[in-house]
Amino acid sequence: MRLAPLLLALLVSLPAAAAQPTTRIPQSALDTAAKLRATALADDTGWKVTESLTAEVGPRLAGSEDDARAVEWAKAKFKELGFDKVWTEPVTFPKWERRSQSAEVLGPHSQKLVLTALGGSVGGTAEGQVVRFPDLESLEKAAPGSLSGKVAFIDYRMERAQDGHGYGMGSRVRGAGPSAAIRAGAIAYLMRSAGTDNHRVAHTGMSRYADGLKPIPMAALSNPDADQLTRLLAVDPSTRVRMALDCGWDGEYTSQNVIGELTGSTHPDEIVLIGGHLDSWDEGTGAIDDAAGVGISMAAAKLIADLPQRPARTIRVVAFANEEQGLWGGRAYAQAHAAELAKHALVSESDLGAARIYGFDAGNIDDGAKDAVQQIAKALAPLGIEWRPGEGDPESDVGPFAAMGAAWAWLGHDATGYFDLHHTPDDTMDKIDPKVLQQNVAAYAVYTYLAAQAEGGFGSSPAKAQQPRSH
Amino acid sequence: MRLAPLLLALLVSLPAAAAQPTTRIPQSALDTAAKLRATALADDTGWKVTESLTAEVGPRLAGSEDDARAVEWAKAKFKELGFDKVWTEPVTFPKWERRSQSAEVLGPHSQKLVLTALGGSVGGTAEGQVVRFPDLESLEKAAPGSLSGKVAFIDYRMERAQDGHGYGMGSRVRGAGPSAAIRAGAIAYLMRSAGTDNHRVAHTGMSRYADGLKPIPMAALSNPDADQLTRLLAVDPSTRVRMALDCGWDGEYTSQNVIGELTGSTHPDEIVLIGGHLDSWDEGTGAIDDAAGVGISMAAAKLIADLPQRPARTIRVVAFANEEQGLWGGRAYAQAHAAELAKHALVSESDLGAARIYGFDAGNIDDGAKDAVQQIAKALAPLGIEWRPGEGDPESDVGPFAAMGAAWAWLGHDATGYFDLHHTPDDTMDKIDPKVLQQNVAAYAVYTYLAAQAEGGFGSSPAKAQQPRSH
């Protein structure tokens, strides 16, 4: 039973790859891409779009009134930028709201603590002794009932890295910590923010309770507050806190993936998909996460639209709905467009900020398209971008489609400073460097144009489903 | 009438200076200071004291319950560190409280803004169109009634500088802006924080209303929020905000200057005074402002107390009450000890953070003491501290006593990063570098010891009153 799908996949995909002719990008396209690169490095469309979204809409939590304003903004912006087609596709999800949150140390060292409810948290007030764990593993080993009446606190500090890999463990502490706390009997869950800064801004993000467990309030302390709680526990291991969260689930909401398209001149049914996500967390203005992704992809397409003629393939820019609470927009897109998967030449999303793009690669690629990937890499090299075969991933919202077999590209932002700001009130426009944003737009413009002008496909195929590259 | 006091001062001070023998620091004291310097650079008393105050007491707004806890903490800490005498002196002041604060942009671009009530603000809710002014001068020129029903907003960004001089204009915008707004008819006052950072933490600080004006709510926006409001005003000059402050004055409170002393071995009635201020603003834990000053001065004296014998003069460490709301502790000290002014050999306070000390000088100094000042400067040089004749000032709480004629010393902290944190929630322990704090303690230990061992005085005299050095 288990071997059958694998064998089927091999039978379908291997001959197809072998039979396919080599994909090539013509010299004329490379010449145009070089001009596009120079234009992009002197253009401020990316900045203006990103600034407009962060200022005029501001924070835009999925399911809020701000979400609806963001959808209207995106439709208007696509039209203003001259896209050929603009439409929306519905995305339905449960709605979570944050109304208020506070916490304080009780007793002789009384003081307020800065925290933020984790997305998906139930509301409630909890008061109890804090028990500190250095990491997720140690909380998972706590005996059932051992935290009865107490507040579990995981004091794990996530690691800073260019590729952002420290977020792997950081987000596991957020995702799995609450359930481990409940199993040990805790009345509430606190964690050190999954973030690398040292400011009094806490990092929110989605969590969930494992099936069958009774939910408890869950929140993240800012790094300085986690330091402080740790110090107080060293002075007095019986330190108690009170935390009060007013938040929770409230029905369903239907938002929209907002899509703008430049219609291909010779292969209008073939699509190069780029994008970012339109929603953000509610405490910042979502500049690096992910107005920048929307701005970069809209601007890259706009610069291509300004060329004398449309490229061969259609360029589709998607402003995805509700990425933050579980890739809702990306999953809806994959589901709605499953039948056209093979028509998607390449898919990619910009969702790791607006720092310098340093790496490039592609995945789910046929052997016959590898030369074309190298051609793109060469065109990106003058931007300081290295071809890094085997690195990278399809980012967030294109992940579900890539998992279904879509060929994908990775234009990797330097994430060294990303998790200083990610999911905090501090994710604001001033954190973006306009010159660096131009490099981002130039990279996306060059990549997108060449993908749209490549003669031959890249390898998207349902046969590649369930075979994502692992690394 | 005007010349008389000046002539009197000249008659009193000049002959005194001329008659005074040269003050010298003996070689044995310089040798001991060198050892003290090495000991301090390997000692963590300063760190422990600062950490203890910021963690165990936390924020300590003057007049709050936390203020009372801080006083108890300081008494206990002086005793624990082995000071010879510990006592308190009362400081009475009006009590100001912050209960809650919020603001939002109204209308099509609705979003929350991060702000903080200025100290001394009345409470109240104001809703109105925002009128932006680039600086204080332009608001001061606004015609009476021209801001009727509107919110005045000064968008002045303070300058970063090693000596912190940008705070001069920054604090004037805070101090004089509200009255200018009232004169023009505004219903509320907003300013860009007097701070050099770009985080979502606003900088509070004291302000006041000029006599006879009807108070309006006054607050500072974080720098990113001031950026955002400016962007929105560019998009829509009729942008409106609502701000709601719950804060205000509530009676009087008596706190305490807490004083610890090492009794001098041969001149116990002569005093070298060092210190920091015990109170802090309420949103951070007051680490750099000014637990560090308390920690540096307590630790410096403690290291001197650990020597085989007490220095010649008494060393007095003062943890001043309520510096933040108007030098209440410093003024109370000056008033209570006016009669003993001449017995204070030198006074100084550490109240500009915990970054590297880079400069040294002294003021209100007799000519006969100038060699001794140079000797101290030479002993500080191995710590990377330059003698900078003519720079510096007596810091905050010793200012009133210096203005009355006390000789003072300046050990100048590098303030380049100080106004990133000053008066914000971000003023927390993690911002202090333990190694740099050791340099601070070493500087204070060397300086204080040499001042206490100098043979001859420095020049404190009521005759120097009203003649502060100007620069």
pLDDT tens digits for A370-417?
A: 999 999 999 999 999 999 999 999 989 999 999 999 999 999 999 999
What are the CA-CA distances from residue A74 to residues A262, A388, B131 (Å)? 15, 33, 29
- Number of Cβ within 10 Å of residue A384's Cβ equals 11
Does B59 contact A111 at a Cβ distance shorter than 8 Å? Answer: yes
Does A228 contact B55 at a Cβ distance shorter than 8 Å? Answer: yes
Torsion angles phi and psi, residue A304, rounded to 5: -70, -35
pLDDT band at A75 (very low <50, low <70, confident <90, very high): very high
Cβ partners under 8 Å of residue A463, min gap 6 = A9, A12, A13, A16, A405
Does A232 contact B56 at a Cβ distance shorter than 8 Å? Answer: yes
With b meaning 16 or more CB within 10 Å and e meaning fewer, what string describes B52-77? bbbbbbbbbbbbbebbebbbebbbeb
Nearest by CB to B227, which of A108, A424, A430? A430
pLDDT at A397 (0 to 100): 97
Torsion angles phi and psi, residue A438, rounded to 5: -65, -40
Per-residue pLDDT tens digits for B404-423 = 999 999 999 999 999 999 99
Helix axes B45-52, B65-80, angle to 10 degrees: 150
Pairing of strands B85-105, A408-413: unpaired
Name the pTM for this structure: 0.93
Determine which helix (DSSP H) or strand (DSSP E) holds A413, and give its type and residue range: strand A408-413
Indicate if the pLDDT at residue A5 is higher than 50: no
Distance from CA of A222 to the nearest CA of B (A): 10
Does B424 contact A200 at a Cβ distance shorter than 8 Å? Answer: yes
Does B199 contact A199 at a Cβ distance shorter than 8 Å? Answer: yes
Distance from CA of B212 to the nearest CA of A (A): 37
Least confident residue range of A68-72, B266-270, B436-440, B466-470: B466-470
Give which of B365, B353, B351, B354 is closest to B322, Cα–Cα: B351
pLDDT at A11 (0 to 100): 43
Indicate if the pLDDT at residue B379 is higher than 60: yes
DSSP designation for B108: G
Distance between CA atoms of residues A376 and A317, nearest Å: 19
pLDDT at B19 (0 to 100): 55
Which residues does B contribute to its contact with A (CB < 8 Å)?
A: 51, 55-59, 66, 69, 105, 108-112, 114, 198-201, 223-224, 227-228, 231-232, 235, 284-285, 424-426, 428-431
pLDDT at A467 (0 to 100): 52
For residue B283, the chain A residue with the least C-alpha distance is: A112
pLDDT band at B293 (very low <50, low <70, confident <90, very high): very high
pLDDT band at A21 (very low <50, low <70, confident <90, very high): confident
What are the CA-CA distances from residue A304 to residues A73, A260, A308, A311, A442 (Å)? 21, 13, 9, 8, 11
Distance from CA of B84 to the nearest CA of A (A): 27
pLDDT at B21 (0 to 100): 80
First to last CA, chain A: 27
Determine which helix (DSSP H) or strand (DSSP E) holds A343, and give its type and residue range: none
The pair of structure tokens assigned to B125 is 């809710």
Does B56 contact A235 at a Cβ distance shorter than 8 Å? Answer: yes
* Interval B338-357 mean pLDDT: 98
Cβ partners under 8 Å of residue B34, min gap 6 = B379, B382
For residue B226, the chain A residue with the least C-alpha distance is: A430
Residues of A with CB below 8 A from B108's CB?
A: 56, 69
Residues of B with CB below 8 A from A69's CB?
A: 108
* Interval B78-84 mean pLDDT: 98
Per-residue pLDDT tens digits for A195-253 = 999 999 999 999 999 999 999 999 999 999 999 999 999 999 999 999 999 999 999 99
Does B198 contact A284 at a Cβ distance shorter than 8 Å? Answer: no
* Interval A247-272 mean pLDDT: 98
Which residues does A contribute to its contact with B (CB < 8 Å)?
A: 51, 54-59, 66, 69, 105, 108-112, 114, 198-201, 223-224, 227-228, 231-232, 235, 284-285, 424-426, 428-431
Burial-class residue A469 by CB neighbours within 10 Å (0-12, 13-18, 19+).
Answer: middle
Burial-class residue B455 by CB neighbours within 10 Å (0-12, 13-18, 19+).
Answer: middle
What are the CA-CA distances from residue B429 to residues A389, B115, B397 (Å)? 43, 22, 22
Does A228 contact B285 at a Cβ distance shorter than 8 Å? Answer: yes
pLDDT band at B241 (very low <50, low <70, confident <90, very high): very high
Residues of B with CB below 8 A from A56's CB?
A: 108-109, 232, 235
The pair of structure tokens assigned to B359 is 């400069």
Does A198 contact B430 at a Cβ distance shorter than 8 Å? Answer: yes
Cβ partners under 8 Å of residue B39, min gap 6 = B303, B306, B445
What are the CA-CA distances from residue B108 to residues A404, B149, B205, B228 (Å)? 40, 20, 32, 14
Asked whether the ipTM of the predicted complex exceeds the cut of 0.90, the reply is: yes
The residue of B52, B53, B116, B228 whose CB has the most chain A CBs within 10 angstroms, and thus the best one to mutate to test that interface, is B228
pLDDT band at B120 (very low <50, low <70, confident <90, very high): very high
Give which of A168, A46, A162 is closest to A418, Cα–Cα: A162
Residues of A with CB below 8 A from B58's CB?
A: 105, 109-111, 228
pLDDT band at B471 (very low <50, low <70, confident <90, very high): very low
pLDDT band at A327 (very low <50, low <70, confident <90, very high): very high
- Percent of residues, chain B, with pLDDT higher than 70: 94
pLDDT at A400 (0 to 100): 97
* Mean pLDDT of chain A, nearest integer: 95
Does B58 contact A201 at a Cβ distance shorter than 8 Å? Answer: no
Indicate if the pLDDT at residue B212 is higher than 90: yes
For residue B111, the chain A residue with the least C-alpha distance is: A58
The residue of A199, A228, A426, A430 whose CB has the most chain B CBs within 10 angstroms, and thus the best one to mutate to test that interface, is A199
Indicate if the pLDDT at residue B1 is higher than 80: no
Instruction: State the Cα torsion A231-A232-A237-A242 to the nearest 10°.
Output: -130
Nearest by CB to B235, which of A56, A199, A232? A56
* Interval B263-291 mean pLDDT: 98
pLDDT at A20 (0 to 100): 60
Indicate if the pLDDT at residue B130 is higher than 50: yes
Per-residue pLDDT tens digits for B29-66 = 999 999 999 999 999 999 999 999 999 999 999 999 99
- B269 against A12, higher pLDDT: B269
Pairing of strands B240-262, A313-320: unpaired
Distance between CA atoms of residues B458 and B447, nearest Å: 13
- The separation between CA A76 and the C-alpha centre of its own chain, rounded to angstroms, equals 23
Indicate if the pLDDT at residue B20 is higher than 90: no
Does A111 contact B285 at a Cβ distance shorter than 8 Å? Answer: yes
Residues of B with CB below 8 A from A428's CB?
A: 198, 200, 224, 227-228
Indicate if the pLDDT at residue A4 is higher than 60: no
